[in-house]
Amino acid sequence: MFQHWRVRRRSGGLFLVLVAFAITASGCGLSGHPGSAKVVHVLGEAKGTPLGVGQPAPTGTSDLAAVSCATVRRCWAVGVAGPNPAPGTGATVIAATTDGGKSWRAQRVVGDGTPQLSGVSCPTATECMAVGSTGASLPGSGVVVTTSDAGATWTAASSPPNALVLSSVTCASPTDCTAIVSDGTSTWSAHSPDFGQTWQQEGNLPSTFQPENDLACVAGGICLDAGYVPTSNSHGQGAVAVSADGGQTWTLASVPAGAGVLQSTACPSASVCLAAGSTGTTVSDVVPAKGLLLRSTDGGHTWEQSPGPLPVEDVYGMDCPSADQCAMVGTFWFGLPEVGVGSVAESTDAGTTFRSTPTSYTPITLTAVDCPSTSTCIAVGGHTVARVTLLPPRRHPATTGSGAPTGSTAPTTTPTT
């Protein structure tokens, strides 16, 4: 499997809440087999045996925006707290699972105030870094919190000087973390060699580029950040910022003219990368649109639009745990007026084609996904956390010199930790 690391983050500004009203009914979409467990579906969800199963996030959570899995069992999701935290539980901005997403618990951040978190990266089973801001509008409001004991304690680390916000972070190891930082007028990448104790400012992102807070870096130094370039006060064209030297310098990649806003990138191999988002160009509001997928075969420097419609509309998150398998999450719009529910799709051919994944209880847009193995992904969005089962890639029988089949290779999965 091609090694890569990334951070998952929802788009549309730092803490956009995409509100979608969805209806669940106890008599609609339940299992039809007598005595079987009931599966609650949301109107608009893809039908079939659910491969994506959601549940409410811990009490006090409002909007989960990013997720990172250190192993197939240990994952962390971060976001912003609810407006009215329940007595005794308090505000929740970090949720964690130790059983692969079957159950989740809130984890508290030590210190005054409740941070607004937008990115998380967990390079080991006990060490995680989360970033965001205090919510203030002044330079110096950037927030970095870390844990070295699997979340038993989360404490403040240093923030890059003059940072207004750290929108995303990715850590290849505790001694190699890269974050996207803004002071309100310019945006740059910063590197920490000591898990957030110190930061060195690196290259500025292109001045016209607006990142959508989804940083992805692959082994060998290539980093990609999806976003847009403004074309008017409320519209933009999709763009990808690319760094071939781990964030030291950044340039704009070549994308098709007229591309909609891009939200996420993923690279199933060192040369093949995907960028996804929306056909829409509105950046000032949530406007229903179709999904958009771009493909690069030169490590993210040039992109072409993939043909055909996507089963996910307004794609917000993507991950590829192997050279063949990829998952994407976002919105499915239905009805008049249009209502958005969470949507999932999978690819078993390196992102060439995607097919819809049946889900249960994904009542609001899913905005981030991380796949710690070739069999499982964890997705989050709003007040929902979901486990997604990946289908194995198709295996074509090998042939002998005479063309006779010699068998096939079984897909591999990451061992459970």
What whole-number distance in Å separates Cα of residue 206 and Cα of residue 229? 10
Q: CATH number for the domain including 37?
A: 2.130.10.10
Using a 10 angstrom Cβ sphere, with 0-12 exposed, 13-18 middle and 19 or more buried, the burial of residue 28 is exposed
Q: pLDDT tens-digit profile of 170-225?
A: 999 999 999 999 999 999 999 999 999 999 999 999 999 999 888 999 877 799 99
pLDDT at position 53 is 97
Q: Which of 47-61, 127-141, 151-165, 347-361 has the lowest mean pLDDT?
A: 47-61
- Read off φ and ψ for residue 78, nearest 5 degrees: -130, 160
Residue 7 has pLDDT above 80, yes or no: no
Residue closest to 384 by CA, chosen among 32, 36, 45: 45
The answer to whether residue 409 sits within a structural domain is no
The answer to whether residue 8 sits within a structural domain is yes
Residue 57 has pLDDT above 60, yes or no: yes
What percent of the chain is predicted at pLDDT more than 90? 72
The pLDDT mean for the chain works out to: 85
pLDDT at position 85 is 64
Q: What is the value of pTM for the model shown?
A: 0.85
- The answer to whether the beta carbons of residues 195 and 174 sit under 8 Å apart is yes
Query: ω before 211 within 30° of 0 (cis)?
Result: no
What whole-number distance in Å separates Cα of residue 317 and Cα of residue 10? 7
Residue 47 has pLDDT above 80, yes or no: no
The answer to whether residue 172 sits within a structural domain is yes
The answer to whether residue 367 sits within a structural domain is yes
The answer to whether residue 358 sits within a structural domain is yes
pLDDT at position 88 is 57
The answer to whether residue 278 sits within a structural domain is yes
The answer to whether residue 119 sits within a structural domain is yes
Strands of the 304-305 sheet, one edge to the other: 262-266, 273-278, 291-296, 304-305
Number of compact structural domains in the chain? 1
Residue 55 has pLDDT above 70, yes or no: yes
pLDDT at position 231 is 95
Query: What is the end-to-end Cα distance of the chain in Å, rounded?
Result: 17
pLDDT at position 32 is 32
pLDDT at position 373 is 97
Residue closest to 66 by CA, chosen among 120, 126, 6, 129: 120
List the helix and strand counts (H, then E) for the chain: 0, 32
The answer to whether residue 403 sits within a structural domain is no
* pLDDT-derived band at 265, boundaries 50, 70, 90: very high
Q: pLDDT tens-digit profile of 324-345?
A: 999 999 999 999 889 999 999 9
Q: Do the bridges between strand 359-360 and strand 52-56 make them parallel or antiparallel, or are there none, so unpaired?
A: parallel
DSSP 111-161: SSS--EEEEEE-SSSS-EEEEEE-S-SSTT-EEEEEESSTTS-BEE----T
Range of the domain at 356: 4-392
The first and second tokens of residue 129, run together, are: 């870094």
Residue 11 has pLDDT above 50, yes or no: no
